[in-house]
Structure 1
Amino acid sequence: MNDIIEFNRNNIDLNNSELPYSIFNVEDVIEKYSQWCRLMPRIRPYYAVKANPSLPLLKVLNKLGVGFDCASQHEIETVLELGAKPESIIFANTCKTNASLVYSRDEDIDLMTFDCLEELKKIQIRHPEARLLVRIKVDDTDSKVRLNRKFGCSMTDALNLLSAAKQMGLFVIGVAFHVGSGAQSADAYDLAIARARQVFDMAEALGYKMSVLDIGGGFPGLWSHSLDNNEITFEQMAKVVNTAIDKHFATIDDNGHWYDNLTVMAEPGTYFCETAFTVLTRVLSRREVSDDQNNWPHIMYTLNDGAYGSFKDSIYIRKVYEPIPLLSSDIIAKRQPYNSILWGPTCCSQDCIQDNCPLVEMFIGEWLMFANMGAYSTNFDNIGFNGMPAPVYRIYVSYKAKQVLIKRNVWKPIRSYFYQFGYNQQ
């Protein structure tokens, strides 16, 4: 974090700019990828583009060898333009437009999910050679964002759909599920993998040769040392996932090998991007407020970014943000803390970043920094609600990250690409 603070001071004109900034730390993504390969080496990650469609992030992930989980034709077009190969893409939206199916067929994107008969009918007409994964419902009770109310089919429907697909001449090759975004129970993966194996058996009884298991996402984006004691860690999830696959998909001789020719994939989004981005906001206005008895003093600050920009989760999941004043320790020590309210810049009364926020007194023109801002937050459109500007992009590449990219022979093309986003050689 100190490196990021120093980078901000050296690369951003904090005295004159009134725009918010989003800082992409390339090393963080590389470290996440290394951790994934170390703890789940048999499972290939397909990054969920919807979590953060930042082009430099996608470029780095592609060069590292990560695949992509795309939910629309636009997302597919984006990753193809960045150099992703068709076989590294899964069209994981169970409800696809007719045009996107035709586009996928033309671009050789053939791996996709389904969870209903109507989707099979669309696929049969427009992409009959597609390789399909039936998405099933699983228990997502302990997740922050539950997905299985909208997506996935029951076990009964799965059998009916497999039978229908067989009659339609379609190729079902595997099973997909998602335990929910921000999963809080590693056991959810064990239960889901056990259920997926049951669907494999159903399909094989119908004559299918199943070969792909997609375990979805839900993996935590924060590093384990940053989590509360009661929160599940990636290490714990990885252990449960590996054990569950070995248990439910082992060969008959039980020698530790997986089910014949089994390919296991996952769709992490938050995992790769949450800690890789830091947002800087400037105080545009301040207002001191008291109650009628004049005994409840606090300060309301209006910042140049808010819930309609980088802080969307203040509305969606009531995320608690922790502002870090970009002030010297000497200045912070001299200032009195107040119970504060942080507002975004729009005219909407719901544009509140943080209520009841303990914060040392800040003044107009000073800056606050927010860490762990990469997942479902940063607004990469040029203009947002009320005409408020999106954050200006900056890219931080540490010496360590640069050496990794040089070793993989991808530093020069990535560096050239970064120049389009205000990258300066550090």
Structure 2
Amino acid sequence: MWMFSVLQRTLELQFMCTYQKPGENGAWTWSRESRYASRRRTTKKTKEEMKLPNPAELGIRLLENGITSADFLKIKMEEFNLDERDAFIVADMGDIVHKHLRWHEALPRVAPFYAVKCNDRRAVISTLACLGAGFDCASKNEINMVLNQGVPAERIIFANPCKQSSDIREAAVHGVHTMTFDCEDELVKVSQINPTARLVLRIAADDPSALFKFGNKFGASLEDSKHLLHMAKKLGLEIIGVSFHVGSGSKEPEAYVKAIYSSHDVFHLAKKLGFSMKLLDIGGGFPGCDNDGPKFEEFAARLKPALDLKFPRGSGVSIIAEPGTFYVMSALTLVATITTKKVHIKDDDKRIMKYYLDDGLYGSFCTHLYDPEVVMKPISFKGSDEPMFESICMGPTGDEKDCIISTCSLPEQSSGDWLHFKDMGAYTVSTYTSFGGFTPSHCEDVIGQDDWQTLQTLPEDLRTLVPVDATGLSVPLSCCVQNS
């Protein structure tokens, strides 16, 4: 099992979830034991158990003989009879593998903790677990989902600042002790349920240009942070770091830079109070495709100098992030069926096509409900040399607002034709509703033979827990490797 942690005292937690501290001579001494130590899951694995499972065991179809995910999509389309066509999704795990390598190329110091809420398919979690990623979970159900894939508790951060008491309790039972907070009530709650928790203070940060903004919901101001640090000290709680999230679908790299500087200020305040600050969590919001706005590498190019300046190598601070969209957005392609076609003729004899699809805003396109600025781009399988018509794409429910695209240009389609949509991996399958009795589009998880080989042949040291300097921290070697 490929284990890492960004937390102090990880190695002993791996066995009994005990709380330790270094003695005067640097040796570990027993201090106190978590009340949940005897009940947590065992995460230590033998060498034999560290072998990669085969794709089928992960619920993934291995594409052989050079077949790509695009080839597989066309093969699936041909399997349907005209009167049996239903929307379906092809999820390419190979795309996730390449995103992971791209992440470590651009941000080698930052360990990715995948945001499970973005796409919680088993195949996605399993693939990222095989790659040695950590996981950002928002609830006990997400924690259990990740643990059930064999991921050690030390690779999970409970990154919900406002948690249910039962969730905190169950997380502790399973050895998940690292969690975020941003208010007094959460501190009191944690002190009563799991006083040995390792807390990460979430500070306010916001990118006004982000598609989904969190500034009004989560995050403590600098003044509130001072108060919360003092309160945590009085309660005898352990604060180990700072986190922030500038918002999903960020468009402005400078928002991260500003938040990194603010985090450094809070680190300084916390250290003055005697807290041992070991973790910086820079959140998520990174772009998942290169179509519009700054590319991921442009974000990384701005973040790296700020991180090196405020949290340099050798400072004893581990840096993590919570990417979701970055990893999965481009991995999924949706193919929807046109169930009904209507033709509207305007006064100037202009024809407008209205197509009703078997997936919509209450299904895979639900992101459009929350932000109308999200642009969906249907792609027709008909030739580009055919005449184009102004078109409208509607979803299947009875809600008049179930309109996927209010205007676009398409060749004339017929009932039973297919339209496909790329970049459908983020906040789609995990937010599907059953409104109107409609069921989720069937999803096929696949990986190409070459990509599976890449996953299998990753160097063993990229998946092995290794100590980093004298701080007691551990991170994956893949997050420390210098590019040659």
Shifted more, 48-57 versus 394-403: the winner is: 394-403
Q: Are the counterparts in 1 of residues 69 and 447 from structure 2 also a CA contact under 8 Å?
A: no
1:280 maps to 2:330: no
Q: Are the counterparts in 1 of residues 207 and 251 from structure 2 also a CA contact under 8 Å?
A: no
3-state DSSP of counterpart to 2:391:
strand
2:170 to 93, 97, 103: 103
1:233 to 295, 298, 316: 295
1:311 to 343, 347, 365: 365
2:445 and 2:248 map into 1 onto residues whose CA distance is: 27
Q: Which residue of structure 2 aligns with residue 191 of structure 1?
A: 258
Listed one character per residue, the Cα deviations across residues 401-423 of structure 1 (whole Å, up to 9, x for unaligned) are: 1211332499xxxxxxxxxxxxx
Q: Which residue of structure 1 aligns with residue 351 of structure 2?
A: 297
The residue type equivalent to 1:233 in the other structure is K
Listed one character per residue, the Cα deviations across residues 345-386 of structure 1 (whole Å, up to 9, x for unaligned) are: 1111111110111010000111011000001123576x7210
The residue type equivalent to 2:435 in the other structure is F
Listed one character per residue, the Cα deviations across residues 242-281 of structure 1 (whole Å, up to 9, x for unaligned) are: 110111123xxxxxx342x111000001000100000010
Detail structure 1 runs of 4+ shifted over 3 Å in the superposition.
Answer: 2-5
Q: Which residue of structure 2 aligns with residue 67 of structure 1?
A: 134
Q: Which residue of structure 1 aligns with residue 229 of structure 2?
A: 162
2:219 to 152, 171, 177: 152
1:354 and 1:216 map into 2 onto residues whose CA distance is: 31
Within-5 A mapping of 1:30-69: 30-69=97-136
| Bigger RCO (CA 8 Å, 6+ sep) | 2
Q: Which residue of structure 2 aligns with residue 345 of structure 1?
A: 396
* Cα root mean square deviation, aligned: 1.7
Is there any run of 5+ residues in structure 2 with no aligned partner, and where? Answer: 1-66, 461-484
Identity of matched residues, %:
35
Q: Which residue of structure 2 aligns with residue 6 of structure 1?
A: 71
- 1:11 offset after TM fit, Å? 3.1
2:451 and 2:431 map into 1 onto residues whose CA distance is: 24
2:211 and 2:437 map into 1 onto residues whose CA distance is: 31
User: Does the C-alpha gap of structure 1 residues 49 and 379 become closer, same or farther in structure 2, counting only changes over 3 Å?
Assistant: closer
Q: Are the counterparts in 2 of residues 286 and 364 from structure 1 also a CA contact under 8 Å?
A: yes
Within-5 A mapping of 1:24-423: 24-222=91-289, 224=290, 226-227=291-292, 231-250=293-312, 257-259=313-315, 261-291=316-346, 293=347, 295-318=349-372, 319-327=374-382, 329=383, 332-333=384-385, 335-378=386-429, 384-408=434-458
2:334 and 2:116 map into 1 onto residues whose CA distance is: 20
3-state DSSP of counterpart to 2:192:
helix
The residue type equivalent to 1:384 in the other structure is S
Shifted more, 156-165 versus 308-317: the winner is: 308-317
Q: Are the counterparts in 2 of residues 314 and 354 from structure 1 also a CA contact under 8 Å?
A: no
The residue type equivalent to 1:402 in the other structure is W
3-state DSSP of counterpart to 1:182:
coil
3-state DSSP of counterpart to 1:397:
strand
1:310 and 1:174 map into 2 onto residues whose CA distance is: 36
Listed one character per residue, the Cα deviations across residues 320-361 of structure 1 (whole Å, up to 9, x for unaligned) are: 11111234x3xx53x321100000111111111101110100
Q: Which residue of structure 1 aligns with residue 38 of structure 2?
A: none
- 1:396 offset after TM fit, Å? 2.7
3-state DSSP of counterpart to 2:270:
helix
3-state DSSP of counterpart to 1:181:
coil
Q: Are the counterparts in 2 of residues 309 and 379 from structure 1 also a CA contact under 8 Å?
A: no
The residue type equivalent to 1:165 in the other structure is A
The residue type equivalent to 1:296 in the other structure is K
1:237 and 1:266 map into 2 onto residues whose CA distance is: 13
2:115 and 2:452 map into 1 onto residues whose CA distance is: 25
2:93 and 2:304 map into 1 onto residues whose CA distance is: 28
Give the TM-score normalised by the residue count of structure 2.
0.78
1:322 and 1:144 map into 2 onto residues whose CA distance is: 17
Is there any run of 5+ residues in structure 1 with no aligned partner, and where? Answer: 251-256, 411-426
- 1:294 offset after TM fit, Å? 5.2
User: Does the C-alpha gap of structure 1 residues 144 and 194 become closer, same or farther in structure 2, counting only changes over 3 Å?
Assistant: same
1:396 and 1:106 map into 2 onto residues whose CA distance is: 34
2:226 and 2:194 map into 1 onto residues whose CA distance is: 22
The total of aligned residue pairs comes to 391
- 1:3 offset after TM fit, Å? 4.2
Q: Are the counterparts in 2 of residues 311 and 378 from structure 1 also a CA contact under 8 Å?
A: no
3-state DSSP of counterpart to 1:83:
coil
Give the TM-score normalised by the residue count of structure 1.
0.88
User: Does the C-alpha gap of structure 1 residues 380 and 122 become closer, same or farther in structure 2, counting only changes over 3 Å?
Assistant: closer
